[in-house]
Amino acid sequence: MQMSGNTILITGGGTGIGRGLAGELLRLGNEVIIAGRRRETLEETVAANPGMKAIVLDIEKGDGIREFAARVTTSMPRLNVLINNAGIMRVERLGTQQEDLADMEATIRTNLLGPIRLTAALLPHLLKQQAAAIVNVTSGLAFVPLAMTPTYCATKAALHSYTESLRYQMRNTPVEVLELAPPYVQTELLNGKDDPRAMPLVDFIAEVMEILQQQPTPKEILVKGVMERRNLTALDRYEKVFEGMNAAMNIDTL
Ligand SMILES: NC(=O)c1ccc[n+]([C@@H]2O[C@H](COP(=O)([O-])OP(=O)(O)OC[C@H]3O[C@@H](n4cnc5c(N)ncnc54)[C@H](OP(=O)(O)O)[C@@H]3O)[C@@H](O)[C@H]2O)c1
């Protein structure tokens, strides 16, 4: 992926990881459009990053996505990079939530159907560009689930799998397909902003920007803190990490 001269759409670009990436990519000489539900958050991010643009989007609402894509490509005809970053993470108690599936369904619509629908809507446009990229933000939890957030982890595992297939299908086209799988990072995602166990956001963004600038860009953008989870292959190691991670989060006390 080229690091300047792109026109980049970042969903969930008003906060956290999306906002961090949006700011850095703007500074490198890209046009950047951020999207999310909260207009005030978007406006605040744009005010802090002169030149950035914003557009309101609720990616959970499938029927508005094609219209949104048409609006973006009309106002930004040079759009050539899509970063599917918007996401939600909810704690679920599977034993007692049998009747209320609202959180689970919202998680699937936002984290999985959202990127699939937006990719489908923008792909015809991206395929016409000289060079284009789709970056899907998954998670280290795509590879080892955190049992307190089962549907979240399932959507990230599914998005990882979808990304692999998309990359394969795009292999002879101008569309490069990348996956960014963050470790636990200090953002508002699950009130982790002040959690010392999470990686500071500025350090994460700095490491990601360094990896992104490698040419050719690695197909999976993995900071050091997530490598181990990604590379677990032997089942006994996997089980040890799964047990250790879930015990450390003390899920029975939630
Ligand atoms: N932080 C971590 O530890 C971590 C680890 C692994 C992966 N990730 C992934 O990184 C991505 C960014 O998360 P973050 O940590 O930066 O958390 P965040 O600050 O909460 O960012 C999530 C963003 O998604 C947007 N969003 C949520 N639902 C949306 C919807 N229906 N339509 C449009 N936008 C929506 C939110 O904006 P609005 O609320 O204004 O819509 C927000 O800007 C997510 O995909 C997350 O799963 C994070």
Q: Which residues are CB-contacts of 53 (< 8 A; sequence separation ≥ 6)?
A: 31, 32, 33, 34, 46, 76
Q: What is residue 195's three-state secondary structure?
A: coil
Q: Which atom of ligand 1 is nearest to the CA of 137?
A: 45
Structural domains of the chain sorted by starting position, each given as residue range(s) with its CATH number in brackets: 7-253 (3.40.50.720)
pLDDT value of position 28:
98
Is residue 55 a contact partner of residue 114, using CB atoms and an 8 Å limit?
Answer: no
pLDDT on residue 254: 64
* Secondary structure (DSSP) of 55-122: EE--TT-GGGHHHHHHHHHHH-TT--EEEE---------TTT-SS--HHHHHHHIIIIIHHHHHHHHH
Q: Ligand 1: does its nearest atom lie under 6 Å from the Cβ of 38?
A: yes
CA-nearest residue for atom 46, ligand 1, is: 87
The C-alpha atoms of residue 110 and residue 191 are separated, in whole angstroms, by 18
151 lines ligand 1 (CB under 6 A): no
Any idea which of 36-40, 207-211, 238-242 has the lowest mean pLDDT?
Answer: 238-242
88 CA to centre of ligand 1 in angstroms: 6
Determine the average pLDDT of the residues in 108-129: 98
pLDDT band at 103 (very low <50, low <70, confident <90, very high): very high
pTM over 0.85: yes
Q: Are 13 and 22 in contact (CB under 8 A)?
A: yes
Helical ranges in the chain per DSSP H: 16-27, 39-48, 65-75, 102-108, 114-127, 150-169, 201-212, 224-230, 235-248
Measure 252 CA to ligand 1 centroid, in angstroms: 26
From 174, 134, 176, 179, select the one nearest 156 (Cα to Cα): 179
Ligand 1 centre to CA of 17 (Å) is 8
Q: In what order do the strands lie in the sheet containing 175-180? A: 53-56, 31-36, 7-11, 81-84, 132-137, 175-180, 220-221
- Name the residue of 17, 185, 221 whose CB sits within 8 Å of the most ligand 1 atoms, as the mutation to test its pocket: 17
**Catalytic residue annotation:** 152
Q: What are phi and psi of 240, to 5 degrees?
A: -65, -45
Q: What is the pLDDT of residues 154-171, one digit of tens each?
A: 999 999 999 999 999 999
